[in-house]
Chains A and B, each alone.
Chain A
Amino acid sequence: MVEVESLRVVRCGGSELNFRRAVFSADSKYVFCVSGDFIKVYSTATEECVHILQGHRNLVTGIQLNPKNHLQLYSCSFDGMIKLWDYIDGILIKTFIVGCKLHALFTLACAEDSVFVIINKEKPDVFQLVSVKLPKSSSQEIEAKELSFVLDYINQSPKCIAFGNEGEYVAAVRDFYLSVYFFKKKTTSRFTLSSSRNKKHAKNNFTCVACHPKENCIATGHGDGKIRLWRNFDDEKKYTYTCLHWHHDLVMDLAFSVTGSSLLSGGRESVLVEWREAAEKNKEFLPRLGATIEHISVSPAGDLFCTSHSDNKMIIIHRNLEASAVIQGLVKDRNIFTGLMIDPRTKALVLNGKPGHLQFYSLQSDKQLYNLDITQQEYINDYGLIQIELTKAAFGCYGNWLATVEQRQEKETELELQMKLWTYNKKTQGFVLNTKVNMPHEDHITALCFCNAEKSENPTLVTTSKDGHFKVWILTDDSDIYKKAVGWTCDFVGSYHKYQATNCCFSEDGSLLAVSFEEIVTIWDSETWELKCTFCQRAGKIRHLCFGRLTCSKYLLGATENGILCCWNLLSCALEWSAKLNVRVMEPDPNSENIAAISQSSMGSDLFVFRPSEPRPLYIQKNISREEVQWGVFVPRDVPESFTSEAYQWLNRSQFYFLTKSQSLLTFSTQSPEEKLTPTSKQLLAEETLPTTPFYFILGKHRQQQQDDKLNEALKNELVQLPLTENIPAISELLHTPAHVLPSASFLCSMFVNSLLLSKETKSAEEIPDDVSMEEEKESVDSDEENNFTEKVQDTNNTDLGKDIIHQLSKSEEKELRKFRKVDYSWITAL
């Protein structure tokens, strides 16, 4: 890991789960979805991400099961490759290089060794459906250049293409016509909605298409909410269609059930509609799905449906229309006002989520942890309604407090403003509303920040507003005779010459508060709220303001709208240095002196990392994104990296994430994607499947030791030593004993809880397995063996301490030998 290459900008999760239709495995155990450059494999039962299939170099645009082997998955990507995966083990089997951008993928059971892809050859808006012959070869990478055209001038979305009746025909829709290509006859029929020019029918353009699995029937969705069922379309004159109309807006997607007995449709109403027997009067609904349905897919076994929603969520729905699982990614369909924050407790990324909500998103597991409803009002999804916007949020006091600001402005003079302060409740493990302040300011709040100094005994919050004031809010005893309730009150109101207050920032130790008033920066003593000094550079309004940290805490940095970055020395009260830089994002690293600034130019966005003490940047990366970067944040690493190269040392303690205007969450990485895959999950899987043979003990021990080495390495850096679950005998006991011989749950409970408690001495940890083995003497051989196994783990832990190595080993060896007697050797006779 030390031989560092170049630093790359990578997508780090948070990518769309709803980009394409999800695909179910044949047994409905897994659901696959494309997610940026990766394919994610989720378990349909537990919602957990089982595998991430990595290997494509660009957006993955289509996935399909291999019709000849349902344990394999085809995928295609903008990088021009079709890859074949073994999704159970997460292994790439083959890569077919096509060469041109692939927009969608289709497979057919009857099409021998060829798949269908959507490409665009010449004009940018003209797409073709072509079939690609996949050559048979044993090599890993194969060129697949044999393309044959099927349909031209089609829509690029895979929703607009459907194969029907076991590949007898393919239907494609675009604008106002439906074309059907028959493979056997090699003819194309085209049906145009004649009334498309009519004003009244202006919205009846095609939006999606689905084919009946058994019959010659094509279902098409339309912009006016109608669904048309086409039949007899092999005769261009005698064709006929039926209308089903329930949706009042665009039909987003359609899917037939496996038997074709029902048709599913969805749209902006967020209601899944099931049309049974394709009859208008016979329909079932699954309402309140939260957001627009973008895609619908059906499992090959027919027991599950999956809907993808515009708020980056997938819902697994049972055949009887009951939602059974929700897979929620980063919600991205709204403007981000709050910026990126890190919840100090969970280390989750916090930003605007659903309308009026704050979402907590885990960067590690790439999934949403939870939603905090801030506005606590029902969201009405309609055009032209002015909604309450959650505009500002800040964490304070190590995640104990959360301040949020919401606003709604219908007219110029009617501003509704609310500030809410939330306290973290340890019992419920969530935020509870503590104080609600109506109209904390007369005008928009421009910034708010907590004083996060370690020594500060009293939580303090500062808000700045366009009304020219900044207000200091402190936590005080509420007017309660028991003096138990606490609440926030305004402590001080400051202003400077009626200028608009635009930014505020506390110094690291909390002794100073910097508030910028348009072009002027004012420094206030946080004890007495006295104005200490002012800085004015006359270089435009201050856009960003931050104090230096650690050794650079005597510096104050300000970025102005005119593209000047200034650094003031607080001791000399003079300008230390200034640079011409159009700063869009300026973020200090909480773990170091480094400050990251992203500047915007016509070419793209550039990253500069510098220390306030010197005007020379530590690191420059040009053109990190073509779009405007809106927000950035440093996320402290759990395990520090050790980049030796000076240029990358700024990434040692924290990782930098940033969000572009199109809401892609990006970060910097030096690793190749293959390395990023954590190997532990793979090993665990392999271990479970190993049979109990003598080789297992030898191999298993070796692996266990390997793992322990890694574990110890990790433990050194952990403040709290957590026991690994697989090492606790009580848990393995619980998991491996057959259910019918287990004692009652109440009996096991105390033992289980005890096993999770931290032991003060290693000795007590050793005692637990002994107790268990005594109690479970009459248990099966398997459990006995497990006891032994865990004991051995403890032993190997001790070996690191370097005492009684021989004795310990011999003891364990003895026990192992005892085990050999019990092991089934029948496999030898079979040889």
Chain B
Amino acid sequence: MGEFKVHRVRFFNYVPSGIRCVAYNNQSNRLAVSRTDGTVEIYNLSANYFQEKVGCEDGSVKLFQITPDKIQFERNFDRQKSRILSLSWHPAGTHIAAGSIDYISVFDVKSGSAIHKMLVDRQYMGVSKRKCIIWGVAFLSDGTVISVDSAGKVQFWDSATGTLVKNHLIANADVQSIAISDQEDSFVVGTAEGTVFHFQLVSVTSSSSEKQWVRTKPFQHHTHDVRAVAHSPIALISGGTDTHLVIRPLMEKVEVKNYDAALRKITFPHRRLVSCAKKKQLLLFQFAHHLELWRLGSTVATGKNGDTLPLSKNADHLLHLKTKGPENIICSCISPCGSWIAYSTASRFFLYRLNYEHDNINLQRVSKMPAFLRSALQILFSEDSTKLFVASNQGSVHVIRLLEGSFKHLHTFQPQSGTVESMCLLAVSPDGNWLAASGTSAGVHVYNVKQLKLHCTVPAYNFPVTALAIAPNTNNLVIAHSDQQVFEYSIPDKQYTQWSRTIQKQGFHHLWLQRDTPITHISFHPKRPMHILLHDAYMFCIIDKSLPLPNDKTLLYNPLPPTNESDIIRRRTAHAFKISKKYKPLLFMDLLDERTLVAVERPLDDIIAQLPPPIKKKKFGT
């Protein structure tokens, strides 16, 4: 595996935003997640739950208060005294149920009048609480209205008569969200205690057709409020203040017991938030509304393998760059020489020039950005920092030449005719001749930067690309996909390399394919051309192409070989995948030079410590 000096970076103070809303689309099998900072993330559930897109609309927290006035232009509904917190249409579109404070109203859409006002019991475990807020309502096609409220109740109402049919007290705290399955035979609710309850419509006896709603399984995957739930045909999806997105498959709906039937917990974004200036040993951290530039610490000490070396110079926080306006940052990049910083929001593109004078830094914004550089999905500097590549959200890739303090637009690679897919991943070869760009599904395009034309297109693959990189010297393009496949494509030969064909023929190790976070970064060792370095959130791997490939019988996660072990055994058990799980959760890892690695970790405990305190619960035996 080789020995490295590793910078363990833990000062990336990144906290994902809490999930505010979750919506599931059955046709495309995609999931939209909105966070409290205003970002909307789209997940493709069929592509191994890969996060495809991030949109940052206006960057502000927007609480949609749907009052009857909003629909006034259609029909003037009866005015309600208090605000309405939840709405649900009858599937036939004839009625609307609206959850308010202390009561639920049912409106007739035609007449616009409230036909029922169903008062909710304020009592909470015998104590009268101040208000009972209806956090969610759901209207079923048989006329049943299901409400969830702040007193911990799930209640079933008959909308025809306006009466309470059944009451389930399920929590000591608020029940905040509800989602119904399309078949209306099960629904899911989320509580402020972090528990998700599943309700099912089951027949009372096997002979009769009478059915009743029964609370079945509780799931405790969250520590904080579950603000949003969704119900896909095979899974329950929940998200909340604790920033995790949890996808819990329903065992009875899963056809084959494969790895898809396992629980998914998505905590970190499936994209890069860190960029690195190797020569200057600088790290650029991207936050929602600002960027931070840090210089890595250094040490003069030496030690044995596994030693922690004392720092002779601490890491420096060099720069704190705030965005203008309320918009979120979509992407950012620092040039390898460390003298350029570029970032983009949803509507504007910014480029800065950095001048280092001893310890001072001089930041200078490059003005007069061209109009076409409005918003970028990905920004990349060439290895010699002379060129800037910007993937715009219209699908084109702009090439800009950087001069001292100014720039010049060289070329725009237009998208293939007929496709409007935007490019979201870029990779440039170290010699600066080749540029690879990839969208979400339609293959990887390789451009010749010298001749400014499309060189070739790597055949399209079923699963989206998660990481791209071009190897030095050989100009082999290494592509990682969301189904954990890794391809190596020779750009000069316009075909897959022999190694890639071999591994496709033999197949990857089953444990490798079962990892549930995508590979987010690929890099190469300058002196060892046979090595590919890649990582996901929970492991760091060096693929040594010279060693035999592992089969399903060999141990994939081999522990670091003990030093006293004989070389023969080590050689016999060695295989191409050398995996280290020492650093996790790993947000970024790259090679600074031949002997130095930088690893950016974000321990989950640090994130939890920054969240608001969860609801206190008495635990038995404590």
Contacts and interface: CB of A to CB of B under 8 A. Distances in A.
Interface stretch (B95-103, B212-220, B462-470): B212-220
B201 to A, nearest CB: 10
A215 B205 contact: yes
Contacts of B152: 281
Interface in B303-339: none
A240 B169 contact: no
Given A231-B214, A280-B170, A281-B169, A238 B203 contact: no
A528 interface: no
Nearest to A169: B206
Interface string B212-246: 10111110000000000000000000000000000
Nearest to A239: B252
A279 B217 CA distance: 12
A165 interface: yes
Given A231-B214, A231-B216, A281-B169, A240 B205 contact: no
Interface string B339-355: 00000000000000000
Nearest to A246: B620
Contacts of A279: 168-169, 215
A216 interface: yes
A232 B168 contact: no
B217 A242 contact: yes
Given A248-B621, A279-B169, A280-B170, A240 B216 contact: yes
Nearest to A242: B216
Interface residues of A, number: 22
Nearest to B215: A242
B200 A232 contact: yes
A250 to B, nearest CB: 15
Main secondary structure of the interface of A (DSSP, over half): loop
B173 to A, nearest CB: 12
A216 B206 contact: yes
B61 interface: no
B456 interface: no
Nearest to B186: A240
B169 A216 contact: no
A232 B252 CA distance: 11
Contacts of B205: 165, 168, 214-216
A215 B212 CA distance: 10
Contacts of B217: 240-243
A229 B214 CA distance: 10
A549 to B, nearest CB: 58
A237 interface: yes
Contacts of A443: none
B543 interface: no
Given A231-B216, A248-B620, A248-B621, A240 B202 contact: yes
Nearest to B172: A281
Contact of A241 (B170, B206, B216, B621): B216
Interface string B153-177: 0000000000000001110100000
A232 B202 contact: yes
Given A168-B206, A216-B206, A231-B216, A240 B170 contact: no
Contacts of B621: 248
B204 interface: yes
A232 B203 contact: yes
A239 B250 CA distance: 11
A234 interface: yes
B265 to A, nearest CB: 18
A378 B205 CA distance: 48
Contact of A281 (B170, B203, B212, B620): B170
A215 B204 CA distance: 5
Contacts of B169: 279, 281-282
Contacts of A229: 214
A25 B206 CA distance: 30
Contacts of B212: 215
Interface string A217-243: 000000000000101101001111111
Interface in B187-218: 200, 202-207, 212, 214-218
A307 to B, nearest CB: 23
Interface in A356-414: none
B170 A231 contact: no
A110 B172 CA distance: 44
Contacts of A168: 205-207
Most buried by A among B205, B217, B621: B205
A214 B208 CA distance: 11
A238 B216 contact: no
Contact of B218 (A215, A216, A243, A282): A243
Contact of A234 (B206, B215, B216): B206
Nearest to B198: A240
B202 A237 contact: no
A168 B205 CA distance: 10
A239 B217 CA distance: 11
A375 to B, nearest CB: 28
Interface in B355-376: none
Interface string B607-620: 00000000000001
Contacts of B125: 281
A281 B172 CA distance: 9
B152 to A, nearest CB: 8
Interface string A253-282: 000000000000000000000000001111
A744 B578 CA distance: 100
Contact of B252 (A215, A240, A242, A243): A240
Interface string A501-515: 000000000000000
A280 B203 CA distance: 21
A182 B212 CA distance: 22
A587 to B, nearest CB: 49
Contacts of B202: 216, 231-232, 240
Contacts of A242: 214-217
Nearest to A245: B620
Contacts of B204: 214-216
Contacts of B206: 168, 182, 216, 234
A243 B170 CA distance: 12
Contacts of A216: 202-206
A243 B203 CA distance: 19
Interface string B590-622: 000000000000000000000000000000110
Contacts of B252: 237-240
A232 B125 CA distance: 31
Interface string B279-312: 0000000000000000000000000000000000
Nearest to A231: B202
A475 B158 CA distance: 81
Contacts of A238: 252
A182 B207 CA distance: 12
A279 B170 CA distance: 8
Contacts of A282: 169
Contacts of B207: 168
A69 B203 CA distance: 33
A242 B168 CA distance: 13
Contacts of A248: 620-621
Nearest to B216: A240
A214 B205 CA distance: 8
A242 to B, nearest CB: 5
Nearest to B204: A215
Contacts of B218: 243
11 contacts: A168-B205, A214-B204, A215-B205, A216-B202, A237-B252, A240-B216, A241-B216, A242-B217, A248-B621, A281-B125, A282-B169
- In the A-B complex, list the 7 residue pairs whose CB atoms are closest, starting with the nearest: A281-B169, A240-B216, A231-B202, A234-B206, A215-B204, A232-B202, A238-B252
Given A215-B205, A229-B214, A248-B621, 17 more contacts: A165-B205, A215-B204, A216-B203, A216-B204, A231-B216, A232-B200, A232-B202, A237-B252, A239-B252, A240-B214, A240-B217, A240-B252, A241-B216, A242-B216, A279-B168, A280-B170, A281-B125
Interface of A: 165, 168, 182, 214-216, 229, 231-232, 234, 237-243, 248, 279-282
